[in-house]
Structure 1
Amino acid sequence: MTKHNAPERGTINLFDAIWSQAYLLLFLAPLSWAGNIVASKLAVGQVDPLVLSALRWLLALAILAWFALPHVRRDWAEIVRKWYWFALYGALGFASFNTLMYGAALFTTAVNISMEQAAIPVLVMIGNFLVFKVRATLMHIAGVALTIYGVLHVATHGDPTRILFLDVNIGDGMVIGACLCYTVYSLALKFRPAVHWLSFLFASAAFAALTAMIYITLFGAGVPAIARAFVSTPPSGWLIVLYVAIFPTIVAQLCYARGVELIGPNRASIFINLLPVLGAILSVLLVGEGLSLYHFVAAIFIIGGIVLSEYAARARQNRSLKPPV
């Protein structure tokens, strides 16, 4: 061993150091997803929501092709055999969720979009009970009720009675619709085909790109609008497109998958609850939005509900793991 080679072997690679830090990776994942919310607001006036969604998935596919195709080739038979699951994941969880969220940014604040997404884990809990008969404790139900009220408090801008008259901001309504899409996607993951996670991401993104093209044809200016975007989109708009194609689409998935590998899905799933908090913080810092009293009131209910729900879930898990006497 030469003196020249010794320091190189002893030097810690920065990527390897980060790659072994579960909590850091599980923080970077919701941070990237929160950035997607901010990007949707910054895109207003620069990139049409339907165009943004289409460009995101087309660009993401091109990037994923560099390192996902070897896994796709190995998993191709299973992908073809279970194509309908990937179609559902791509159409609902990827394209529909993000298209609705990008559209919502035209009508409501990024803070509202962030906080309303706290409904997703709660809706998934309800879906598990209704579809898969997963029983819930009283504490669990109380947590769900608190979180739902907090989300409704945000959606109605502090006046939940507006629900009775269907007087809800269209943007807030679109976010709730997006949450429902993601709930169905989350429940359907129970039937996820046994393929590598990169194969899963690539196949689902392919169907997301197809769905986004259908949406822009039916509800937008058509596929030619994508070509026009190459000329009309300013440099700042392209930075937004690059961000949403890389960070929430690929980096967040990479970080979360590695975090799950390091500490397990049950502990890792808690970090998803950081999304509403980080989204609200970034909305204030980067978009310059303000917080109203109803945001703070809603936050108390949302955080309290999530804490109760998670505590109930952990307590039940611990009881199920307790060895028989």
Structure 2
Amino acid sequence: MPILTSLYSRPMLLLVLTTLMWSGNAVASQLAVGHVSPMVIVFLRWGIVAALMSLIAWRDLVASWADIRPHLISIALMAAFGFSGFNGLFYLAAHNTTAVNMGILQGSIPMIVVIGAYFLFGARVTLIQFIGILLTLLGVFVVASQGSLQVLLNMHINPGDALMLVAAVFYAGYTLALRNRPKVPALAFFAVMAFVASLVSLPMLAVEYSQETLVWPSVQGWLVILYISLCPSFLAQIFYMRGVELIGPNRAGVFVNLVPVFASVMAIVLLGELFAFYHGAALALVLGGIWIAEKFAWEKRANKAKA
């Protein structure tokens, strides 16, 4: 179809749509509360995506299986932390915090990746990048403490915000692990990840059942699950991979910074959440820190290219 062909050749539009769908995940997590339990979401989400990916990437999967099989343990760990673990904590956090907070705290992931790359791979961190990291982390503390120094000093951190921070660390670890992922087609790799994530979520589902907190989806719960499965989990991943293919990972990665902005706006418009002064300050710190680090890194790469 001409419209789909045109869309698939527009990287900026694809990447903006990707971040919109990822941002919508924070709103969806709030709409799911009371209508479906967190681990049921995780299990059904990745089960649906695995089924879709098996149809789309079946040929690539069969052709690449010999290269994938030796790495199944590492892939399982990546799926466990980056997909099942991150999503499980993400939806648990929604029971104790707001979509605005979740979006802003999710914006800390790029800086956690920078810190992880320094300790794990010895990646250099310049003074400017360090300042950017400090600003981003300060923004995280502002959200977690609700803008109150007294709350921070007394360590009365909202449990939902704490879970969201752990989830961000999980996803940052997954991102760092992608550096050494098997050299196979992206769709085949994603299909295996989705399948493993659905299997890994089974023990989490069992724990929820044993604690008698398992809630099968209502009509609203199914609508939320379908949105989460089709948009942030399926289409957004494909759009992002296509965007990276068209303009490269460095330029595409900058668009992730739009997630806290879009998530905040969507939470206010769709959920009627309040946007306090400390949210604005935290958003400015998180985005400002990322912008400083990214701008310096971009200029450094550009100067090397000219040399």
Sort the TM-score into its range (normalised by shorter chain): over 0.9
**Residue 256 (structure 1) aligned with residue 240 (structure 2):** yes
Q: In the alignment, which residue of structure 1 is the partner of 2:162?
A: 173
Distance 1:287 1:74 in 2: 45
Partner of 1:192: 181
- Paired residues for 1:1-325 under 5 Å: 13-218=2-207, 220-221=208-209, 229=216, 233-323=217-307
Contact 1:113–1:175 (CA under 8 A) maintained in structure 2 = yes
The residue type paired with residue 167 of structure 1 is H
Give the C-alpha shift of residue 129 in structure 1: 1.1
Report the TM-score when normalising by structure 2: 0.96
1:95 deviation in Å? Answer: 0.6
Percent identity of the aligned residues?
Answer: 38
Q: 1:167 to 1:193 in 2, by over 3 A?
A: same
Label 1:241 to 1:179 Cα distance change in 2 as closer, same or farther (>3 A).
Answer: same
Structure 1 residue 81 displacement after superposition: 1.0
CA shift for structure 1 position 318 = 2.0
Quote the offset at 1:83 in angstroms: 0.5
Q: Distance in 1 between matches of 2:56 and 2:211?
A: 28
The residue identity in structure 2 corresponding to 1:171 is G
**How far apart, in 2, do the equivalents of 1:222 and 1:78 lie?**
38
Following TM superposition, by how much is the alpha carbon of 1:163 offset from its aligned partner in structure 2, in angstroms? 3.7
Q: In structure 2, what is the Cα distance between the partners aligned to 1:125 and 1:160?
A: 27
When Rg is computed on C-alpha atoms for both structures, the one with the higher figure is 1
Answer yes or no: is the 8 Å Cα contact 1:72–1:199 preserved in 2: yes
| Distance 1:160-1:176 versus aligned 2 partners, 3 A rule | farther
The C-alpha deviation readout for 1:14-63, integer Å capped at 9, x for no partner, is: 00111111100010111111111111110001011111111111111112
| Structure 1 segments unaligned to the other structure (5+ residues) | 1-11
Distance 1:313 1:124 in 2: 14
Maintained 8 Å contact 1:137/1:312: no
Query: Would the aligned equivalents of 1:120 and 1:182 in 2 still touch at CA under 8 Å?
Result: yes
Whichever residue aligns with residue 282 of structure 1, its letter is M
Mapped contact 1:147–1:302 kept (Cα < 8 A): yes
Mapped to 2, the partners of 1:118 and 1:36 lie a distance apart of: 13
Deviations 1:174-225 (A, max 9, x none): 000000001110111110101111111111111211121111213x015999
1:217 maps to amino acid: A
- Structure 1 residue identity aligned to 2:301: Q
1:223/1:278 CA distance change after superposition, 3 Å: same
Distance 2:118 2:152 in 1: 25
Report the TM-score, using the length of structure 1 for normalisation.
Answer: 0.91
Instruction: Note the C-alpha offset of 1:161.
Output: 5.0
8 Å CA contact retained: 1:51, 1:225: no
Q: Is the 8 A contact 2:39 2:88 kept in 1?
A: yes
Unpaired segments of 5 or more residues in structure 2? none
Read off the aligned partner of 1:80 and give its amino acid letter: R
Query: Which 4+ stretches in 1 moved above 6 angstroms?
Result: 223-226
Aligned length: 307
2:151, 2:182 → 1: CA distance?
42
The answer as to whether partners of 2:37 and 2:213 remain within 8 angstroms in 1 is no
